Amino acid sequence: MEIRVNKPFDAARLLADLRIIYGDTLHVTRSFAVAAVAVGAGGGALLLTLSGMSGLVVLLLALAAYGVYLGLGNSRSLQRAVSDLPEICQHEALLIVTEDRIIQEHPSIRSEILWTAITRVVETDTGWLLFYGSRHAISLPKEGMGEDQEVQLRAFLATRTPVAA
């Protein structure tokens, strides 16, 4: 089996993939941010209405501000990660999927990952993320694949790795 797919550089798709890769961390951070805003703003408003201005109100409002900072900061960090990619990574790549490895070729970079290193596969609407670490994955786009290639890849993935939804 050999499947060849051209993968154009797409910053929006890369950002979407990063949101999936870091989904668990983003969820925890957003939950903490929402809780910090709710406790800080709600507690500050409650203290202001019941006892007037106090030092504790300032602390609670600082907690709320920190929650807003955290909530917005994660999204900015991922966007910055995409925009700060080196020029050599911002070109179309050729992905070659064989029975023993995945090869990704950029004009200046070539990487090969053996299937034995793939620990998890996540299928998205636009393709597959082939994880070879908790935060490391190769994105294999559906765009550019023929229907027969998709069927062939699905059958291969079913025998190789567990597919996560």
The predicted-structure confidence for 6-27, as pLDDT tens digits, reads as follows 999 999 999 999 999 988 888 8
Q: Alpha carbon 131 to chain centroid distance? A: 11
- Torsion on CA atoms 14, 19, 22, 27, rounded to nearest 10: 170
Cβ atoms of residues 88 and 106 within 8 Å: yes
- Quote the pLDDT of residue 55: 74
Phi-psi region of 127 (alpha: psi -120 to 50; beta: other; left: phi over 0): left
Shortest CA distance to 160 belongs to which of 146, 140, 143? Answer: 140
Considering only CA atoms, give the Rg of the chain. 22
Buried b (16+ CB within 10 A) or exposed e, 21-47: bbeeebeebeeebeebbeebbebbeeb
Q: What is the pLDDT of residues 94-145, one digit of tens each?
A: 999 999 999 999 988 999 999 999 999 999 999 999 999 888 999 999 988 8
Spatial distance between the Cα atoms of 16 and 29, rounded to a whole number of angstroms: 17
Q: In what order do the strands lie in the sheet with 2-7?
A: 2-7, 93-98, 101-105, 110-114
100 neighbors 115 (Cβ within 8 angstroms): yes
pLDDT of residue 163: 53
* pTM for this predicted structure: 0.77
